[in-house]
Structure 1
Amino acid sequence: MVIEIDTVRAAWAAGRAARNGWLTVPDPHLVEVVAAYAAGHDVLDALTLDLQHGLFDRAGTAHAVRAIEAHGLAPLVRLPAVEESTIGFVLDLGVRGVIAPMVSDVDVAAELVAACRYPPAGRRSFGPVRTALRAGADPVAAADTVLAFAMIETADALDRAPEIAAVPGLDGLFVGPGDLGVALGLGPAQDRGEPAIHDAFRRVLDACAAAGVRAAVHATDPGYAAARAADGFALVTTWSDVPALAAGLDAAKAGFVA
């Protein structure tokens, strides 16, 4: 039986947080450059393709998954919504986990899990586009190891975090600080330090600990991500394409002295 290497779970087995990168630009060459460098220099364990706010279409998603897998990182997808056909499509491509946005109650979290698992555990349709290509592959067994994260991005979700975390089959909660900050009246931002946000982090961490699942969080600054890993988050975004490009341009401007 062949199941793809899961570098996220490997990081957890080694006793550390998994380092995640975030991609919104749907250029296959950029994806491959990032994946090759990140794998070759031990920068990341996973790369997430953002299908909610990124520009990936179905073909672009398939090309990106291939590029990420080719360099030994775990491909993940942030879904546009909890919708069965999209979830089935990306899982059939071989992604190792999905991150569902705006999950505000137990029912939606349960729908997410059901869409990720084959019957009788769920209702995923069987159509292994890429997951059955290798000799000895077992798509059904591989489906049991796919990660399913529900994003906590609303005030209702934060209040219901203990119940959502306890949904059977869910692997964890993923904090989206931008939308959560908007929901809490703080406005949009990343890498933020407001007491209300850090209180929200603690509530999510406690909910996950009580349910025996893992907590994840989005960031754009590696130092901030490291601090969140020290807090107990098991999956942290340490790099994101557009903020990184902007930071590189700022550094080029500051560093050029004619």
Structure 2
Amino acid sequence: MTDPALAPDSAPDAVRAAWAAGRAARNGWLTVPDPHLVEVVAAHAAGRGLLDAVTLDLQHGLFDRARSADAVRAIAAHGLAPLVRLPAVDEATVGFVLDLGVRGVIAPMVSDAAAARELVAACRYPPVGRRSFGPVRTALRPGDDPVAAADTVLALAMVETADALDRADEIAAVPGLDGLFVGPGDLGVALGIGAAQDREEPAIHDAFRRVLAACAAAGTRAAVHATRPEYAAARAADGFALVTVWSDVPAILGSLDGVRAAFEA
């Protein structure tokens, strides 16, 4: 059996390699579809061992099909795992990004086990799932096996509604699902405490514990979104296996806000 970290695909599986090394995988987050920005982030992060993966946000980002393909190439070329946050659980979109060679998809607003099963079916080829065969970038090299590679693609369901939190145990236990991904912004709205990231409210920490427990019981992995590396490191210490440590727009705005602090010091 092929080592998942060396899956015969057009992109590396650095997330699983991090897990095999016994640590949380570190994820970057991109919403700005500029090819140069993608390449700069991937090259800098890979050259310094800062990230294992970079996620393209197709839900709240501005990536179209062509820019997504360019970004996947740039991320994979530097040895990082390309991931995609989907706009929705849609078979056509899932098939397209997987045919590009992304190593995992993150599905938003998955509120029950039925939606999680739809996600898994969209990621896997028959007889396990319903993915259509069309290896755009997953069969470029002699010896590539896109069907085998599909079995190692990560399928992560986002917990960002009250229903999803209440049903975390049953969602995490869906066969073929690799884990749950907490979206603190939408989850905060759903819990009545407003949208924010890197948050410390007791209700959010309770949600973290519930998701971690659900994943532990199901033998799957928990992931969480953050914008600051210090906060992400704390969540990794809690037991999250994939943590977003950097996000483009918050990072840009944060450095810009630093101008005021420097000149008012």
- Is the aligned partner of 1:209 residue 2:216? yes
3-state secondary structure, aligned to 1:187: coil
Q: Tell me the equivalent position of 1:119.
A: 126
| Counterpart among 216, 230, 255 of residue 248 in structure 1 | 255
- Is the aligned partner of 1:228 residue 2:235? yes
Q: CA RMSD in A?
A: 1.1
- Is the aligned partner of 1:165 residue 2:182? no
- Is the aligned partner of 1:97 residue 2:107? no
| Counterpart among 201, 211, 216 of residue 194 in structure 1 | 201
What is the TM-score when the length of structure 2 is the normalising length? 0.96
What is the alpha-carbon distance in structure 1 between the residues aligned to residue 55 and residue 117 of structure 2? 22
Deviation at 1:202, TM superposition (A): 0.2
Instruction: Give identity over the alignment, percent.
Output: 83
Q: Give the AA of the match of 2:86.
A: L
What is the alpha-carbon distance in structure 2 between the residues aligned to residue 5 and residue 99 of structure 1? 17
3-state secondary structure, aligned to 1:180: helix
What is the alpha-carbon distance in structure 2 between the residues aligned to residue 66 and residue 253 of structure 1? 37
Post-superposition Cα deviations, 1:128-177, rounded to whole Å, max 9, x if no partner, equal 00001111100000000000000000000000000000000000000000
Q: Give the AA of the match of 1:2.
A: P
- Is the aligned partner of 1:177 residue 2:184? yes
What is the alpha-carbon distance in structure 1 between the residues aligned to residue 242 and residue 263 of structure 2? 36
Say if 2:12 and 2:76, in contact at 8 Å, map to a contact too: no
Q: Tell me the equivalent position of 1:2.
A: 8
- Structure 1: unaligned runs, 5 residues or longer: none
Q: How does 1:60-139 map to 2 (within 5 A)?
A: 60-139=67-146
Say if 1:2 and 1:135, in contact at 8 Å, map to a contact too: no
Q: Give the AA of the match of 1:32.
A: E
Q: Give the AA of the match of 2:25.
A: A
Say if 2:84 and 2:105, in contact at 8 Å, map to a contact too: yes
What is the alpha-carbon distance in structure 1 between the residues aligned to residue 12 and residue 42 of structure 2? 15
Q: Tell me the equivalent position of 1:156.
A: 163
What is the TM-score when the length of structure 1 is the normalising length? 0.98
| Counterpart among 24, 42, 64 of residue 31 in structure 2 | 24
- Structure 2: unaligned runs, 5 residues or longer: 1-6
What is the alpha-carbon distance in structure 2 between the residues aligned to residue 64 and residue 110 of structure 1? 28
Q: Give the AA of the match of 1:87.
A: V
Q: Tell me the equivalent position of 1:143.
A: 150
- Is the aligned partner of 1:15 residue 2:19? no
